[in-house]
Amino acid sequence: MRFGVLGPVLVGGVEVAAPRQRALLAMLVLDAGRIVGHDQLIGGLYTEPPSGAANAVQSQISRLRKTVPGLVIEHHPAGYRLVADPSEVDWILCAELLGAGRGAQALALWRGPALADVEAPFADAARRRLEEVFVSCVVSGGSTHDLRALLAQHPLREDVRAALMRALHRDGRQTEALEVFAQGRELLAGELGVDPSPVLAAAHLEVLRAEAPHRGVPAQLTSFVGRDEDLRRVVKWLQENRLVTLIGPGGTGKTRLAVEVGHREPGEVAFVDLSATTDVARALLDGVGVREAGLLPAGAVGVEERLIAALASRNALLIVDNCEHVVDEAARVLGAVLARCPDVRVLATSREPLGITGESLSPVAALDDDAAVRLFLDRAQAVKPGFTADHDVIADVCRRLDGIALAIELAAARVRSLPLGEITARLDDRFRLLSRGSRTAAPRHRTLHAVVEWSWDLLTETERDLAARFTVFHGSAGLQAAVDVTSSDVDTLTSLVDKSLIEVTGDRYRMLDTIRAFCSTHAPDLADRHARWFLDLAQAAEPHLRAHDQVEWLRGLAQDHDNLVAAVGWATANDVDLALELVAALATYYWCRGLRTEAAQQADAVLRACGETVPRGREQEYALCLLIAWPVATGDQTARIRQADALLATFDAPPRYPIMTMMWGMALGAPEDESEIWHRRNRLLGDDPWSIALALVGDGLVKRMEGDPAAGAELLRQGAAAFGQAGDRWGAALAFNQLGEIALAAGDNAGALAHVERARQLLDELGATEDTAEAVVGRGHAKLAAGDAEGAKADFDLALTLARRAGAQVVQAGAHLGLAELARLAGDHVLAGAECDQAWALTPGGWYGPDEMRCHIALERGRIAKTAGSAEQARAHFEEALRRAVKQRNLLTETAVRAELDALAAP
């Protein structure tokens, strides 16, 4: 959710209509992440606070939460705190960008005067503080137009005047820059009786000294967008290094950045494009303005010698563009120039390094979302004035185009003839869509296909083969996977990295989707090899996911999540035996990551691919798929569970994957002591530390459901300790969650909160979004029981957000049920009923099946009806809850429901 005060107050892109709520929100946004005291809020809202001002603020907070769904404002004894990521708050992001030297990006966040629609006692002082930030943004990154407008408002500000002079100077308008200085000097003398400060005098001197020639530097027909930080870095490096090479894939904007550097260079500049030549020395000689001999004694007629003689005593910057197709010759010639011409600097652009000693590499990577959106809007409005579109929609288009500047510009040009929705829909065939560029551009830059083809044609046959094979990976790949699956070698892989066909981040290798789409047309079919390699990885990782190195292995598998999903998808369509093995081997990973719904959908697809036949030799994997898939299974879920139970009855030893035993218990419920199912479960339990811990927790759950919470708690504590010794954070979190529920039922609110918070912390370590959301629901119930309704509301809302992100319907249902209880306690029976309805609608898609959650929903509906004075409706709901509790053999819930029925029957 985005929060804005740099203009009218916005939250989530929506203006808040009520003036006092708007002012209150603005105060919280200005101190986002920090507690704003009650007195500060009252003093900021009221010139003369009314009686009961604290209650009035509380009421405004409540209305604000209702006005903006998903808004999280925490209540603390000292005041209120807006929960927001700093990147979501425009003024904080503005300050960070400004501190990083990215003034243009910071300036783009401003939508008008700060707090433009706020009238409150605090507003004037806040506006003055933010106005100083705005001035700094314009000075750091504003255009000439922005600076002129700001100077008109603040004619005596010398920092603004100096910035305008430098901007005019960069645009080649030295005369105007000198006029701005003269006007300022006269104004300062007349108004203040002072001379220009050192800041303004230094800007004046820069303009006076800047008369050096710029040869061949292309004039630009479009604005420079999105590379301000790169520009500052390159300018700085050229002051410290004599050779800087801009490297990156085609179309990222290397040439555009180099040209911008050239325009801002105060000394002599020569721009040389090598794309159409193989004679590097002659092209450089022409570029520096020397065409004939005469610089050397008779007989010395070599082109390279004439070049070095021409540059030996000159202080100049050579911008050498498109070195990649003559990289060896360019490196040799430029190396000689740098060695013998001490005052010459070189800025090169290439898709691979030149490899010269002392070379500084400056990667020109994909544009970030904000820069990409600004570039798209700038180019789209140039061809279709007035064009506007949702920021997130444009950002999605730009991300799908890998943030490649040329691709974004080509896509933006299409808005003249195609709606943005059509452009988005056609991105899967991006080379056809982006096939029309500027007629004045070099042929290799007129279409996206031509840009990538230029890089492809420069590769060796071995490099092309690996580039094509690498497209089998999804997302990224580790070094071992890249070498093994493609049957290639490290040297060729690193060569493709050097040539900007493959990127490397940390220890992962990835290919931009645009390059991948081109190279995949040349690729052999390696999908089977890919799937089997990742099956081996999953099988090797599985035991570690139940041990002390759990987090490390989970992190490793998470990096390959896209590859794992792709492997399962391909195998499901082509090799069901392989698909069964993959789903079974990945069950523990999915469970510990809290991706149960995703796993269930995969398993269901594999079972449908198998048809009615259990593949011979894959009975264990098939049974595990049944247990994973039944919550989302199409058709008869009960039949699926019976089929799984029948298969499990044929096993006479613990399964290969111990997670199966736990899933069996989740699907079939708690067995009665000494029953056939009870004996079968014990037979399938292994004697490893993890399985022993699981048995303790399972027995604790059963004792709790049977109405013996003390015995259940003791077993759960032992289980939590055993899981801790084994190294499994997920199992320990399960035990702590259950201990929290026992403490809550016993009225130990502090103990309940401590247990569920410990569970949440463990799940956070695993990155288990779905399970974390469930723990946050438990924390909300603990806060509600302790009387913290505001904190409970914030937790239930947070859990909804997390659960929606994970697609976890049952956790969403639990959060809605918590909100229903909250509404009932507040006397809002209509809202409480609506929340129950939403919980009910979501329940069938959940993991634990409909009965348990619907039992709790029926119980809550009964309590709502009872509170509303409808005894008959309450009795009907309680009786439904009782039927479900008896069916589950959940004595704990059954006891709670019977207590409600007894209370209804009492006179």
Looking at residue 702, its pLDDT comes to: 79
897 band by pLDDT with thresholds 50, 70 and 90: confident
- The stretch 418-430 carries a mean pLDDT of 74
Burial class of residue 518 (count of CB atoms within 10 Å of its CB; 0-12, 13-18, 19+): buried
| Long-range contact set of residues 791-795: C-beta below 8 Å, sequence gap at least 24 | 791/74, 791/75, 792/818, 792/822, 793/65, 793/819, 793/822, 794/72, 794/73, 794/74, 794/83
Looking at residue 652, its pLDDT comes to: 75
Segment 206-242, tens digit of pLDDT: 776 655 567 778 776 566 777 788 888 898 899 888 9
**Are the C-beta atoms of residues 710 and 892 closer than 8 Å to each other?**
no
**Are the C-beta atoms of residues 491 and 289 closer than 8 Å to each other?**
no
Looking at residue 296, its pLDDT comes to: 42
631 band by pLDDT with thresholds 50, 70 and 90: low
Segment 664-675, tens digit of pLDDT: 777 666 555 554
Owner of token pair 């398993």: 603
Among residues 220, 251, 249, 248, the alpha carbon closest in space to that of 446 is found at 251
3-state helix, strand and coil shares in percent for the chain, rounded to the nearest 5: 65, 5, 30
675 or 572: which leads in pLDDT: 572
For the cut 50, the answer to whether the pLDDT of residue 40 exceeds it is yes
Alpha-carbon Rg for the chain, nearest whole angstrom, is 34
Report DSSP state, residue 761: H
Question: How far apart are alpha carbons 63 and 142 in whole angstroms?
Answer: 39
The chain-wide mean pLDDT, for the chain, equals 83
Among residues 93, 113, 118, the alpha carbon closest in space to that of 103 is found at 93
Architecture category of domain 3-136 in CATH: Orthogonal Bundle (1.10)
**Are the C-beta atoms of residues 431 and 449 closer than 8 Å to each other?**
yes
Just give the CATH number of 459-524. 1.10.10
| Pairing assessment for the beta strands 10-11 and 214-215 based on DSSP bridges | unpaired
For the cut 70, the answer to whether the pLDDT of residue 635 exceeds it is no
846 band by pLDDT with thresholds 50, 70 and 90: very low
Segment 730-760, tens digit of pLDDT: 889 889 988 988 888 888 888 888 898 888 8
Element (H, E) at 360: strand 360-363
- The stretch 280-304 carries a mean pLDDT of 64
Domain 687-767 - what CATH class? mainly alpha
Looking at residue 300, its pLDDT comes to: 40
For the cut 70, the answer to whether the pLDDT of residue 537 exceeds it is yes
Looking at residue 564, its pLDDT comes to: 94
135 or 763: which leads in pLDDT: 135
Q: Which of 89-103, 509-523, 776-790 has the lowest mean pLDDT?
A: 509-523
Task: Go through the chain and tell me how many residues it has.
Answer: 907
577 or 432: which leads in pLDDT: 577
651 or 65: which leads in pLDDT: 65
**Are the C-beta atoms of residues 817 and 856 closer than 8 Å to each other?**
yes
Which residues fall within 8 angstroms of residue 884, CB to CB, at 6 or more apart? 851, 852, 854, 855, 858
Segment 676-693, tens digit of pLDDT: 555 566 666 777 888 888
Q: What is the pTM of this model?
A: 0.59
Structure tokens at 133: 């930030």
The residues spanned by each domain of the chain are 3-136, 143-211, 228-363, 369-452, 459-524, 528-683, 687-767
Question: How far apart are alpha carbons 252 and 254 in whole angstroms?
Answer: 6
Which residues fall within 8 angstroms of residue 811, CB to CB, at 6 or more apart? 770, 773, 774, 777, 799, 802, 803, 846
Looking at residue 668, its pLDDT comes to: 64
297 or 536: which leads in pLDDT: 536
734 or 513: which leads in pLDDT: 734
Segment 217-226, tens digit of pLDDT: 877 656 677 7
Distances (CA, A) of 425 to 111, 362, 420: 30, 34, 9
Angle between the N-to-C axes of helices 659-668 and 637-648, in degrees from 0 to 180, rounded to the nearest 10? 130
844 band by pLDDT with thresholds 50, 70 and 90: low
Task: Give the three-state DSSP class for 35.
Answer: strand
Looking at residue 135, its pLDDT comes to: 92
Question: How far apart are alpha carbons 517 and 618 in whole angstroms?
Answer: 36
Segment 333-377, tens digit of pLDDT: 999 999 989 989 999 998 889 989 889 998 888 788 888 888 888
Same fold? 3-136, 459-524: yes
Q: What's the distance, CA 781 to chain centroid? A: 30
Cβ atoms within 10 A of the Cβ of 564, count? 24
570 or 770: which leads in pLDDT: 570
Element (H, E) at 348: strand 344-350
Q: Which of 178-192, 243-257, 553-567 has the lowest mean pLDDT?
A: 243-257
Owner of token pair 């570029």: 287
For the cut 80, the answer to whether the pLDDT of residue 807 exceeds it is no
907 band by pLDDT with thresholds 50, 70 and 90: low
CATH 1.25.40.10 fits 143-211, yes or no: yes
Burial class of residue 386 (count of CB atoms within 10 Å of its CB; 0-12, 13-18, 19+): exposed
Looking at residue 568, its pLDDT comes to: 95
Looking at residue 294, its pLDDT comes to: 39
% of residues, the chain, pLDDT over 70: 90
- Alpha-helical segments (H) within 267-390: 280-287, 303-311, 327-340, 369-383
Among residues 309, 28, 73, the alpha carbon closest in space to that of 798 is found at 73
Cβ atoms within 10 A of the Cβ of 892, count? 18
Q: Which of 320-329, 503-512, 556-565 has the lowest mean pLDDT?
A: 503-512
For the cut 70, the answer to whether the pLDDT of residue 107 exceeds it is yes
Question: How far apart are alpha carbons 156 and 192 in whole angstroms?
Answer: 9
Q: What are phi and psi of 315, to 5 degrees?
A: -100, 100
Question: How far apart are alpha carbons 696 and 714 in whole angstroms?
Answer: 9
CATH 3.30.1360.10 fits 228-363, yes or no: no
